[in-house]
Amino acid sequence: MLVAELLASDLEVRYVVGIAELLEPFSDAAVDLFEAPDRRLSSILSTRSPQQIAAVATIPSIEPLLDGPLLAQVDMADPGNVGTMIRTAEAAGQAGVVLVGSCADKWNPKVVRASAGASFRMPVSQCTEEELFSSRSTPVVATVPSGGSDYHAVDLRNATICIGNEAHGLSPEFVSRCDDAVTIPLAGPTESLNAAAAAAVLVFAARDQRRAVTIPTPTRMDR
């Protein structure tokens, strides 16, 4: 439940409103609880089949750009993808997420839901393209559908991995400013991966490199 994730985070929660049975688990929480009827909650909540509970929290100031391994989303308009990638970056151990240019807002309700609570915990910065490149002391790596290096052959451990928007990817000008560009080899006729799927492949590859994971080659058993 997102409300439970929010209450467990460091964000300032002002109050929680919901039906009695969903408020009960939070009776010991240091936050004001208000009971409301089903019909009233359904009229103010934005989802088609909402859980009958909601919380109001103070939106914190924007995180400064961080050092360390980051996932940069560039002009990522789809809030579902933005939230999914925040969740994936947290799961893979990235230090944070950077929203570059015209991205869906971190606090868009669809972003929050898609992040499954990760947006309450994961450092997320916003910046322009110029600010991204001027602030980085570690490699900035572009993701391109073809023509890049095999991602297995590139050091991603401390890199800022850049994923372009769903329709157009990264511009040639953006890619030219990066330290390297990687491509995910695909089997079969599929032309490309969804942006969130590509991000997952690369941030977990970066995690494995940081852990120096080696995968043994299977051997055929004689029968």
Residue 214 has pLDDT above 60, yes or no: no
**What's the pLDDT score for residue 135?**
86
Residue 94 CB burial class (10 angstroms; 0-12, 13-18, ≥19): buried
Q: How confident is the model at residue 39 (pLDDT cuts 50, 70, 90)?
A: confident
Residue 223 has pLDDT above 50, yes or no: no
Q: What is the per-residue pLDDT across 137-146, written as a single tens digit (0 to 9) for each?
A: 889 999 999 9
Q: What is the per-residue pLDDT across 84-133, written as a single tens digit (0 to 9) for each?
A: 999 999 999 999 999 999 999 999 989 999 999 999 999 999 999 999 99
SS3 187: coil
Domain positions in the chain = 2-57, 70-210
Domain spanning 70-210: CATH superfamily: SPOUT methyltransferase, trefoil knot domain (3.40.1280.10)
Residue 66 has pLDDT above 90, yes or no: no
Q: What is the per-residue pLDDT across 187-209, written as a single tens digit (0 to 9) for each?
A: 878 888 999 999 999 999 999 99
